[in-house]
Amino acid sequence: MSSATMEATKPQEGARTKPRILSGIQPSGIPTLGNYLGAVRHWVRQQYEAESFHPIVNLHAMTLPYDPKDLHQRTYDLAASLLACGIDPEVAVLFVQSQIPEHTELTWILSTQTMFGELSRMTQFKEKSGGEQPERVGTGIFFYPVLMTADILIYDADLVPVGDDQRQHVELARDVAHRFNSVFGETFVVPEADIKEEGARIMGLDDPTMKMSKSAASEYNYISMNDDDDTIRRKVRRAVTDSGSEVKAAPDKPALTNLLTIYSQITDRTIAKIEQEYEGKRYGDFKNGLADALVEAIAPIRARIEEFQADRAELDRILALGRDRSREITVPKLERVREVTGLVT
């Protein structure tokens, strides 16, 4: 093969000077502090060293019952939030998943290389469909990891920075990439999960055994990146603590460990340093310090979210730019996939 053809078929390989990262987020409301510390903050840091792609995965958000009006609005709210957190749309590629039809076509093709058993073992599927009769579980929630695999593979992403809850899905994407390459010849880069240790699993403020999540039953479970100062302080005050009175992270102190992790991540200081600062002090003092740190970090982000929310035309311009930059990659990549799989085009 001449080098020109090589370039046309596999443009990224030899030519790639920066790693390519891809990570998506569902438009299920304004991101939580868990999304921010587990994922978005890392994306903001990495965007200058990597080629970054960040889909707002609205097709994934359709897999559980939802209201169409909400989904539409939340897609814009999430775009505003990601921009407010520091995603630079001139650097990273920020786009809406449903605007790139190649993701869904590749999903179908990859489904032929994904085993029923593999999907049945996904813990997120088991959790989200748990308790329901199979008759009442939509197949979208079962199929969800195939769409996520397509999101990743169509960009030949090297790294997938996610929170710990997505580890199993990225493993599946790796297995499917390997399988596809061995059946049809080298086509996809085999991606790796990039899970940062600290912040990978931020737990609920009301229950440190469950991950912090927007879909939790109580609003005291999470902090939203647009909560106002009073709400942040109230939620921190109400956060559960462990028995005892020492401000210390330890396996038998899950609540304090979680609060110390949040404090440490948001202020970029070590847990040891914060423990030292609160030695001999009470939980109340510690919570006041934590609330101050959170207010300081979140208030400017909240203000920027509001600015972006007020300018729909600017959001549309940014998302159109992302769509066009994405399709520069997905259109030729899918063409190549159609070729190797024998599809007449």
Does residue 192 sit in helix, strand or coil? strand
Q: Considering the rule CB under 6 A, would residue 148 count as an interface residue with ligand AMP?
A: no
For residue 2, with 0-12 CB atoms within 10 Å meaning exposed, 13-18 middle and 19 or more buried, which class applies?
Answer: exposed
257 counts as binding ligand TRP under rule CB under 6 A: no
Is residue 84 within 8 A of residue 225, CB to CB? The reply is yes
Q: Decide if residue 25 touches ligand AMP (CB under 6 A).
A: yes
Residues 27, 57 contacting (CB under 8 angstroms)? yes
* Residue choice 34, 191, 208, 289 for contact with ligand AMP (CB under 6 A): 34
Contacts of 260 (CB under 8 A, 6+ apart): 247, 248, 249, 271, 274, 275
Out of ligand AMP, ligand TRP, none, what residue 151 binds, judged by CB under 5 to 8 A for its kind, is ligand TRP
Q: Which of 87, 162, 260, 291 binds ligand AMP (CB under 6 A)?
A: 162
Of 82 and 247, CB closest to ligand TRP: 82
CA atoms of 298 and 33, how far apart (whole Å):
9
Q: Provide, rounded to whole angstroms, the least separation between the CB of residue 43 and ligand TRP.
A: 10
22 binds, among ligand TRP, ligand AMP, none (CB under 5 to 8 A by kind): ligand TRP
Work out how close the CB of 262 gets to ligand TRP at its nearest, in angstroms, rounded to a whole number: 19
| Residue 11: DSSP 8-state | -
Check binding of 26 to ligand AMP (CB under 6 A).
Answer: yes
Any contact of residue 35 with ligand AMP (CB under 6 A)?
yes
3-state SS assignment for residue 226: coil
Q: Give which of 71, 62, 160, 175 is closest to 122, Cα–Cα.
A: 175
Q: Does 162 bind ligand TRP (CB under 6 A)?
A: yes
Residue nearest to ligand TRP (CB): 24
Q: Does 166 bind ligand TRP (CB under 6 A)?
A: yes
Nearer to ligand TRP, 25 or 337 (CB): 25
In the chain, which residue ranges form alpha helices assigned H by DSSP? Answer: 3-9, 33-35, 41-46, 68-85, 101-111, 116-120, 123-129, 139-153, 167-184, 229-238, 254-267, 271-277, 283-309, 312-340
Cβ distance to ligand AMP smaller for residue 25 or 109: 25
**163 belongs to the binding site for ligand AMP (CB under 6 A):** yes
DSSP string, 258-283: HHHHHHHHHHT--HHHHHHHTTT--H
Size of the site for ligand AMP (CB under 6 A): 18
151 scored as a contact of ligand TRP (CB under 6 A): yes
Q: Which is nearer to ligand TRP, 78 or 148 (CB)?
A: 148
Catalytic status, residue 10: no
Q: Which does 38 bind (CB under 5 to 8 A by kind): ligand TRP, ligand AMP, none?
A: ligand AMP
Provide the phi-psi class of 27: left if phi over 0, else alpha when psi is between -120 and 50, else beta: beta
Q: Spot the catalytic one: 10, 196, 214, 248.
A: 214
Nearest distance from C-beta of residue 24 to ligand TRP, angstroms = 3
* Residues 91, 87: Cα–Cα separation, whole Å: 8
152 binds ligand TRP (CB under 6 A): yes
Establish whether 211 is a catalytic residue: yes
Residue 126 known to be catalytic: no
The item of ligand TRP, ligand AMP, none sharing an interface with residue 152, based on CB under 5 to 8 Å by kind, is: ligand TRP
Asked whether 291 and 237 are in contact (CB, 8 A), the reply is yes
Neighbours of 89 (CB within 10 A): 21
Chain residues binding ligand AMP by CB under 6 A are 23, 25-26, 28, 34-35, 38-39, 162-163, 165-166, 200-202, 211-213
